[in-house]
Amino acid sequence: MDFETIILKKEDGVATLIFNRPERLNAINMISMSDIRAGLNDVAGDETLRVLVLTGAGRAFCAGGDFKRQKEDEPLSPAGLADKTKSQEFKPTDVAQAVRSYTKNINLVLQNLDIPTIAMVNGVATGQGFSMALACDIRIGSENARFGVAWTKRALVPAFGDTWLLPRIVGLGAACDLIFTGRTIDAEEAFRIGILNRLVKAEELEKETYAYARQLAKGPTVAIRLSKLNLYNGLQMDFESALESLASAQAQLFFTEDLQESTRAFQEKREPVFKGK
Q: What are the domain boundaries of the chain? A: 6-217, 221-268
Do the domains 6-217 and 221-268 sit in the same CATH topology, yes or no?
Answer: no
What's the pLDDT at 98?
Answer: 73
Low-confidence ranges of the chain (pLDDT < 70): 67-90
Task: Please indicate, yes or no, whether the overall pTM of this predicted structure exceeds 0.95.
Answer: no
CATH topology of domain 221-268: Lyase 2-enoyl-coa Hydratase; Chain  A, domain 2 (1.10.12)
State CA 54 to chain mean position distance: 7
Angle at 238 between CA 233 and CA 240, to 5 degrees: 105
pLDDT at 91: 76
The helix (H) or strand (E) run that includes residue 94 is: helix 92-103
- pLDDT, residue 86, reads 60
pLDDT in tens, 74-132: 444 555 555 555 656 667 787 777 777 777 788 999 999 999 999 999 999 999 999 99
Q: Which fold has domain 6-217?
A: 2-enoyl-CoA Hydratase; Chain A, domain 1 (3.90.226)
CA–CA separation, 251 and 247 (whole Å) = 6
